[in-house]
Amino acid sequence: MKSKPPATEDRYGRRADIKYSLYLLKLNPVVLVGFIISIVSIILALISPILVNPSSWHLQNLDLRLCWNNPAFNWGIGGVFDCTGRIYPLGTDQYGRSLSEMMVLAIPIDLEIALEVVLSAVVIGVLFGSIAAYVGGTIDELILRITDIFLAVPGILLAIVMIVVMGRSLFVLTLAVLITWWPFYVRLVRSQVLGEKEKPYVERLRAMGAGRTRILFVHVVPNSIYPVLVQATLDIGSVILTVSALTFIGLTPSPLLPELGNLANQGIQYIFTAPWLILFPGLTILIISLGFNLLGDGIRDILDPRLRR
């Protein structure tokens, strides 16, 4: 708007930023929900070894398999076993383990993979993307063409082949997802840096005598990193979705592994007799992923200078 009021001191600064964030939060309270979900899931992941014995997932108790004894809810379908003894709030799985405990153990595993993938992708993206954009020429062309190759094929296909060939372990799983993820970040950082490096202050720094490395890593990259971080927040959810989809189709290190996708996979065979087995792990994935997506979406609005007026 040309008609915007004059911008002066009180309109900006850190205090105004916070004020602005709160204002947007008022317009869009869903962001708060995302924030809370993300924080709770991270806290849950951190304290999960305290809540549940971390090695309890090896223990099978086939007497207690597939039973439901939570009096708060009745599934209304035949063939549901009742368990005796202690209460399992979300029932038990086919190995007789408490589903709720397994889910508590699963959250840190999924979050850790997601963080590893996203952070590595950001690092790779910043490194190659900024160099491609700033140096340009042949190096830019080369990096672009390599990303082209990876963007031309559905990532999940590449991941499946990698996991089958390289062995089913959490490391390979992480690597396989990362392989399909990094090109987006290279592209994103590249386009951000391309836009940023055309800004007049870069020209001013060059005129001042600042070297390329200094301009790129002290000024340009920090100024273009916010959209990348927003994307990283959004992608935590998407990575969890991809990882759990891979384990869901059986590409898991061990059938016993408490990983949300794997738990759901164990549950799908009993979809009509023990629906909770697929319902709750999937719901957890949905909630965590939604939380990070809402958070990222909100942060994007806050950081978007065009929305300010």
Partner 1 sequence: MEEDYFLKTENLFKYFPIRGGMLSRTMAHVKAVDGVSLEVRRGETFGLVGESGCGKTTLGRTIMRLTDPSKGSIKLEGEEISRVRGRNLKNIRRKMQMVFQDPYASLDPRQSVRSALVEPMKIHHTVSSRNEMNRSAEQLIEQVGLNPDHLARFPHEFSGGQRQRIAIAIALAVKPTFIVLDEPTSSLDVSVQAQILKLLKDIQRDMGLTYVFISHNLAVIRQMCARTAVMYLGRIVELADTQRLFDNPKHPYTHALLSSVPIPDPEKRKGLETLQGDVPSPVMIPAGCRFRPRCSYATDKCEDLHPPMLEIEKDHWVECHYDLKFAASYSD
Partner 2 sequence: MKLYEYIIRRLALMVFVLFTLSLLIFYLTRGLLPPSTALAPYISPRIGDAGKLSLARALGVATSTCPSFQDFASETNGCIVPLWGQYYGWLVNVLTGNWGYTLLPGIAGTANTWDIFFSRFAFTAELSICAAILTIIIGIPMGIVSATHNNKLPDHVSRIISLGGYSVPQFWFGAMLQILFVLYLRVNGAGLFDATGALSITCGICFHNPGEITTYSGMPILDAALSFNFPYFWDSVIAVTLPAVTLAITSIGALTRIVRSSMMEVLRQDYILLARSKGLKGRVVIYRHALRNAILPAVTVSGLLVAYLLGGAVIVEIVFSWPGVGNASLAAANVLDINFLELYVLVTALIIVVTNLVVDVLYSIIDPRIRL
Partner 3 sequence: MRKVGSEGETILAVNDLKVIFHTYAGDVKALDGVELFVRKGEVLGLVGESGCGKSVTALAIVGLLPPNAEIVSGKAVLDGTDLLGMGEEKLRLTRLKDVAIVFQDPMTYLNPVLTIGLQITEIVASQPDLFIPELIKNRLDEISTIEKAKGELVPKLQVEREKLRAKSQTNRLGNEELTRLTRLYATSILKSVRLPEPEKVFKMYPFELSGGMRQRAMIAMALIRRPKLLLADEITTALDVTVQAQALQLLQQLKEVIDTSVLLITHDLAVVAEVCDRVAVMYAGNVVEVADVKELFRNPMHPYTQGLLASVPRVDLVAEQKSIQGSVPDLMFPPSGCRFHPRCPRVFEKCPVAKPTLIEVSPGHLVSCFLFGG
Nearest residue (CB) to partner 2, 205 versus 227: 227
Nearest residue (CB) to partner 3, 156 versus 303: 303
Report the alpha-carbon distance of residue 31 to residue 294 in Å, rounded: 5
**Residue 212 binds which one of partner 3, partner 1, partner 2, none, with CB within 5 to 8 A depending on kind?**
none
Q: Are 231 and 255 in contact (CB under 8 A)?
A: no
Contact between 132 and partner 2 (CB under 8 A)? no
* Per-residue tokens: 204: 């001013």
Q: Which span sits near partner 2 by CB under 8 A: 53-61, 147-155, 191-199, 203-211?
A: 147-155
Nearest residue (CB) to partner 2, 47 versus 77: 77
**Residue 116 binds which one of partner 1, partner 3, partner 2, none, with CB within 5 to 8 A depending on kind?**
none
Q: What is the 3-state secondary structure (H, E, C) of 82-134?
A: CCCCCCCCCCECCCCCEHHHHHHHHHHHHHHHHHHHHHHHHHHHHHHHHHHHH
Question: At closest approach, how far in Å is the CB of 25 from partner 3?
Answer: 10
Nearest residue (CB) to partner 1, 215 versus 277: 215
**Neighbour-count burial for 130-157, b at 16+ CB within 10 Å, e otherwise:** bbbbbeeeeebeebeeebeebeeeebee
Indicate the SS3 state at residue 189: helix
Q: What are phi and psi of 64, to 5 degrees?
A: -100, 20
Contact between 8 and partner 1 (CB under 8 A)? yes
For residue 180, give the DSSP letter: H
Q: For residue 213, give Cα distances in angstroms to 91, 130, 170, 196, 202.
A: 57, 11, 36, 15, 12
Nearest residue (CB) to partner 3, 58 versus 309: 309
Nearest residue (CB) to partner 3, 24 versus 232: 24
Nearest residue (CB) to partner 1, 211 versus 255: 211
Q: Are 284 and 301 in contact (CB under 8 A)?
A: no
**Within 152-275, where are the H helices?**
155-166, 170-197, 200-208, 212-214, 221-224, 226-248, 260-268
Contact between 228 and partner 2 (CB under 8 A)? no
Q: Which span sits near partner 2 by CB under 8 A: 41-49, 81-89, 94-102, 265-273?
A: 265-273
Contact between 141 and partner 2 (CB under 8 A)? no
**Residue 108 binds which one of partner 2, partner 1, partner 3, none, with CB within 5 to 8 A depending on kind?**
none
Among 7, 18, 22, 30, binds partner 2 (CB under 8 A): 30
Among 203, 255, 268, 304, binds partner 1 (CB under 8 A): 203
Contact between 12 and partner 1 (CB under 8 A)? yes
Binning the chain into helix, strand and coil, the percentages to the nearest 5 are 70, 0, 25
R_g of the chain computed on alpha carbons: 24
Among 3, 208, 272, 309, binds partner 1 (CB under 8 A): 208
Provide the binding-site residues for partner 3, judged by CB under 8 A. Answer: 1-6, 8-11, 16, 19-20, 22-24, 308-309
Nearest residue (CB) to partner 3, 25 versus 80: 25
* Per-residue tokens: 176: 């396989």
Applying CB under 8 A, the residues found at the interface with partner 1 are 7-9, 12-13, 199-201, 203-211, 214, 219, 222-223
